[in-house]
Structure 1
Amino acid sequence: MATRTRRPAGARPASKIPQLPWRSPQPAPIVLVSGPEEVCAERAIAGLRDYLRAEDPSLEVSDVRADAYAPGTLLSVTSPSLFGEPRLVRVAGVEKCTDEFLAEAISYLSHPQEGATVVLRHTGASVRGKKLLDAIRSGTGGGVEIACAAVKRDSDRYDFAAGEFQAAKRRIAPAALRALTSAFADDLTELAAACQQLIADVEGDITEAVVQRYYGGRVETSSFVVADTAIAGRYGEALIALRHALASGADPVPMVAAFAMKLRTMARVVGVREGSASLAARLGMKDWQVDRARRDLVGWTEAQLGLAIQAAARADAEVKGASRDPVFALERLVTVVATRSPFGS
């Protein structure tokens, strides 16, 4: 007898509608833009507008708030006008929608208006509107979904920035791209703006020197510069970079996190004799991350690496409240990493 695979309780049913990348949106009667990453969602919605406007410059654009909804609005803005112009309706706040909107939107799925594209933005911050989302994902209304997952990992930010330049058909040196993503490691919106500024202002290929010229202050004070300098064994420079970063308002918590991330990556590749591509695929990393970790490991022993990882764990606890002096905790971490020896030895 065939066995049935049971879905875990609370798991979302498999979507039956096309899943589109946010960089390449396509119109449909219903477009669900889901997920928390606002930068990607904004790009997707703007891309849909540009797509439809290129097809017909007479496009009518309407904005609706699902959390401050006036009954009858959805039908009103999607109904054909006298001249039959195409309509784009952008609905925000679906994760906070009113009961009236929810009822009318579910009803609308059964009879979408011809010539209308309704974009529903749901951040996923709540389960509000789940019945509507499930109906869309079941195929009712002929919809598509553009998922905008949170960009959290360094590799994801690197891919995001690389995609910005690829979309603009511009070349950026790998070192320049790493410097740029390190400089804006905490804010995807700022990273996106920085990419667009370089694309707009710089002619020709974008080099590391260009990134330094535009964002040198951010790059110099970034957490990763402090970590890189200490890991390279340049103790004096690392302390100067640390003090510069702290004077510029850097937060000790992400600074320790930068050390921990790099040391963990080094620990994952130490002693492994395997090609960068295959090792990166096996570990869920990028080729350049493996290559960088191997360069960072030059001159390190496994015992020294273990000592540094312990120091990073201690510093992490101290900057999160276990110590009254997070600056001292950071200086001690830099000392242990840069000298590759116990503090005070």
Structure 2
Amino acid sequence: MDVSPAPVVLVSGPEEFFADRASQRIRDLLREAHAELEVHDIDAASYGAGELFTIASPSLFAEPRLIRVSGVEKSSDAFIEDAKRYVSEFAEDTTLVLRHTSGQRGKGLLDLVRKTPGAIEVPCPELKKDQERLTFAQGELRRLGAQATPGAVRMLAAAYASGSVSELAGACAQLVSDSGTQITEESVNRATEGRVEASGFKVADAAIAGKQSDALVLLRQAILSGTPAIPILAALNMKLRGMARVFGAYGSSAQLAKQFGMAPWMVDRAMKDIRGWQEADLARAIDLAAETELKLKGGSRDPDYAMERFVSFVARRGRERG
């Protein structure tokens, strides 16, 4: 994360992993420049009037200060009033870091920080989309000095699709530690063996490739080993959504990637996967996925059969038997 110290730093958004990393980065940079750095922590919810100014006032030896404020979204009235005064005329050799997760509380203070010269904001958004987690995994591996094939990154992100961002970051670090800086699908497969989502993508890869027998065998093995069917269905859905985006589209991988919010290699993969599909059959596959999800969640007496039927439908690219 590219963050630099500033007199006032607003760390906004719900993702605590990014917020913690930003705060740590600021502290490390300040401590590199000033070994005598003083660090103070304030809870904005229980803040008492004047506390901020007491901490920020110059000491006898004028040591630089880092003041970290948590819970700005739950600020006391006293903190909001004092923080607005402080931001309007901040102290020298002091860095104030304000952590605000979400909500309208403290909005006036946030707006003031955002228009104050010299202050900066570090957004920490939640990663909700598959592409966002893929992009994060790619960046994390690059940060660690590793090179990974597109398929390896996709497998890694899929293996931790339901985990936290910190878990995915930890997996990247562990993978590089165990496998070195050249990351392949095989090294990810070894590292993620047993992950529910990784099993799901094995089934999805086989089904999308038209290997019906292999896909069904992998599906049965996953179910027998205790893997829930819902994550397997989610893996197939992820592929089908990508295929639907690029169906009938024209242009270079870079152009389509920008248009659809996908990585260029994902566009190439979806274009390859879509070969042999008819538009009506792809639409039916997406509809059948929704029907299958209902059956898996209690709408059928035999959910395993419903999942097998869906996997077979995808592997046959929507065609009937024979």
SS at match of 1:217: coil
Structure 2 CA distance, aligned partners of 1:248 and 1:84? Answer: 63
Q: Which amino acid aligns with 1:334?
A: V
Cα shift at 1:68 = 2.8
The equivalent of 2:190 in structure 1 is 213
Q: Which amino acid aligns with 1:287?
A: P
* Percent of paired sites with the same residue: 48
231-240 vs 93-102, which deviates more? 231-240
TM-score normalised to structure 2 length: 0.89
The equivalent of 1:308 in structure 2 is 285
Structure 2 CA distance, aligned partners of 1:334 and 1:174? Answer: 24
Cα shift at 1:49 = 1.0
> Aligned runs of 1:1-345 on 2, under 5 Å?
23-124=1-102, 126-139=103-116, 142-187=118-163, 188-218=165-195, 221-246=198-223, 250-320=227-297, 322-323=299-300, 326-341=303-318
Aligned residues: 321
Cα shift at 1:80 = 2.7
| 2:148–2:184 Cα contact (<8 Å) kept | yes
Unaligned runs of 5+ in 2: none
| 2:155–2:198 Cα contact (<8 Å) kept | no
SS at match of 1:64: strand
Structure 2 CA distance, aligned partners of 1:292 and 1:32? Answer: 39
Structure 1 CA distance, aligned partners of 2:316 and 2:158? Answer: 24
Listed one character per residue, the Cα deviations across residues 64-103 of structure 1 (whole Å, up to 9, x for unaligned) are: 2212324433223323332222111111111122222222
Structure 2 CA distance, aligned partners of 1:287 and 1:214? Answer: 26
Tell me: CA distance 1:343–1:315, structure 2 relative to 1, closer, same or farther (3 Å). farther
SS at match of 1:216: coil
Structure 1 CA distance, aligned partners of 2:135 and 2:115? Answer: 31
Structure 2 CA distance, aligned partners of 1:121 and 1:185? Answer: 26
TM-score normalised to structure 1 length: 0.83
| 1:179–1:219 Cα contact (<8 Å) kept | no
| 1:260–1:309 Cα contact (<8 Å) kept | yes
Tell me: CA distance 1:117–1:245, structure 2 relative to 1, closer, same or farther (3 Å). farther
Tell me: CA distance 1:275–1:110, structure 2 relative to 1, closer, same or farther (3 Å). closer
306-315 vs 321-330, which deviates more? 321-330
Q: Which amino acid aligns with 2:289?
A: A
Tell me: CA distance 1:331–1:343, structure 2 relative to 1, closer, same or farther (3 Å). farther
Tell me: CA distance 1:324–1:48, structure 2 relative to 1, closer, same or farther (3 Å). farther
Cα shift at 1:186 = 1.8
The equivalent of 1:20 in structure 2 is none
SS at match of 1:233: coil
Structure 1 CA distance, aligned partners of 2:78 and 2:286? Answer: 55
Structure 2 CA distance, aligned partners of 1:155 and 1:128? Answer: 31
Give the CA RMSD over aligned residues: 2.6
Structure 2 CA distance, aligned partners of 1:116 and 1:303? Answer: 62
